[in-house]
Structure 1
Amino acid sequence: MTPFGQRLRALRASRGMTQAAMADALQVSAAYLSALEHGRRGRPTAGLIHQICDLFGLIWDDAEELSRLARISHPRIVVDTAGLDAARTELANRLARDIARLPDETVRTMLEALNAATPRRRVRVRAKS
């Protein structure tokens, strides 16, 4: 599951909406929606994110957060370490190899360290006209 998929499922569940009903409202297949929720599909388009925000009445901070989650939710990523030092290349390779076996607490600690070292970029969300 991706952060976007987890949030999408929570939004849908909090509104008591089935995948089929949500898929129909967004004019996508229920299979596609299920794949998004389970992290088997790549990032959704900006247009689909906008439709989801409209469907759930998300504004400003909530819409921005959904967009941010979509940006960090590609289930198959490539880390290009060309030109970086050996330690960074080793880190990328070890993470790719061992990520599934890391304990939850280690993952949380690593995310906290990354969040502290690299501030989040803010994104502008345009209102629908």
Structure 2
Amino acid sequence: MTPFGARLRALREEKGITLSGLAAALQVSPAYLSALEHGRRGRPSAGLIQQVNDYFGLWDNVEELERLARLSHPRVVLDTAGLSPEATELANRLALRIRSLTPARIAALRAVLEGEE
């Protein structure tokens, strides 16, 4: 599941809306929405993000879904060309171990990365 997919599902469930009902309202297929929610599709289009914002009335925090969508590509490619050998090693170690990391380890790594911004 991607960050955008998790938020979309939460919004839908909070309002008691079925996947099919939301798909009809947004004029997309239920299969597409399901794929977004489960992380089998990449980033949604800017138009779909706007439709979701409008549908759920997220006018106070329009940027939230845009930020989540930017962080929601399920097949990430890291280009370390031109970076240090340590950066390349880190990218490769992460790729090899990402599936076995515990939620606590993921949270710790996120905290380190977010502290640098």
- What TM-score bracket applies, with the shorter chain setting the length? over 0.9
Q: Let me know the Cα RMSD of the aligned residues.
A: 0.6
- The alignment's TM-score, normalised by the length of structure 2, stands at 0.98
1:60 aligns with 2:51: no
1:79 paired to 2:71: no
Matching residue's letter, 2:35: A
Indicate the residue corresponding to 1:123 in structure 2. Answer: none
Once residues 66 and 60 of structure 1 are traced to their aligned partners in structure 2, the CA distance between those partners, rounded to angstroms, is: 11
- Bigger share in helix: 2
The one-letter amino acid of 2:109's match is M
Residue segments in structure 2 that go unaligned for 5+ positions in a row: none
Matched-pair identity in %: 60
Aligned pairs, how many?
A: 117
TM-fit CA distance, 1:104? 1.2
Map of 1:125 onto structure 2: none
Amino acid aligned to 1:16: G
Q: CA offset at residue 103 of structure 1? A: 1.4
Give TM-score, length-normalised by structure 1.
0.89
Distance 2:60 2:114 in 1: 22
Counterpart position of 1:39: 39
Segments of structure 1 that go 5 or more residues without pairing to the other structure are 119-129
Instruction: Give the Å deviation of 1:60.
Output: 3.3
